[in-house]
Structure 1
């Protein structure tokens, strides 16, 4: 179901891009003129391209909302952490606690017959 809605959504997006690019420029955007004529009315007549643009835009928004609802239903009740699989032989408590170094790992090596680690001030 989700794949069908996604394909329709992509086709609507491509159709909307094509219809918008095919429309005639009415000018006025960023100061670029496109003619205009003498009698400019406040309301332009709705052409077939404008109606098609509105229909595609409404359908695009509807499929966007539908995809959002489908994704929310699919992920409800589960977490990303629930999908993590632990290696064999490891329990969940050990996976949560980070491994800390042992106390002997923090100390310098024991001085025996080896040369001193810090040079003397002789």
Structure 2
């Protein structure tokens, strides 16, 4: 059923494109004065506007209804998603032990002869020094 509606959808879309391209635009009345008014004899005395606009409206309604039917059929009963095939990792009963962090090495003190302080900024001075 889904394939049949998809093929019908393609034919309706092609028919809509063809009918829209066949219709005259709003500003094409001036062109009929130069000999392009032959479409009135093909579709009757009223011209092609009535026939083509009604057919376009019918095809547009069919396209809309067919789109709704395809959307309904594509989501009905189909619970597949990207996440449905992913399995959760197995959990162990024991908690994961974190490894102790490596001890922090103090930064070397800059030389006092270069104008830099002998202690890093924010360091606590040793006991007994002001």
Say whether the fold is shared (TM-score over 0.5).
Answer: yes
Q: Report the counterpart of residue 74 of structure 1 in structure 2.
A: 77
Out of 94, 98, 102, the position equivalent to 2:98 is 102
* Match of residue 26 from structure 1: 26
Q: How far has the Cα of 1:101 moved from its partner?
A: 9.4
1:23 Cα deviation after fit: 0.4
Q: Is the 8 A contact 2:23 2:49 kept in 1?
A: no
Q: How many residues align?
A: 94
Q: CA deviation at 1:22?
A: 1.0
Tell me, in whole angstroms, the C-alpha distance in 1 between the residues paired with 2:14 and 2:70: 17
Q: CA RMSD in A?
A: 3.5
- The separation in 2 between residues aligned to 1:117 and 1:101, in whole angstroms, is 27
Counterparts of residues 1-122 of structure 1 (less than 5 Å)? 1-27=1-27, 34-35=29-30, 47-76=50-79, 80-85=82-87, 90-91=89-90, 93=91, 102-104=98-100, 107=101, 109-110=102-103, 118-122=107-111
Distance, in Å, in 2 between the alignment partners of 1:15 and 1:24 is 16
TM norm structure 2: 0.53
Gaps of at least 5 residues in structure 2 are: 32-46, 112-130
**Runs (5+) with no aligned partner, structure 1:** 28-32, 37-43, 95-99
Of structures 1 and 2, the one scoring higher in RCO (CA 8 A, sep 6+) is: 1
CA contact (8 A) 1:26 1:34 kept: yes
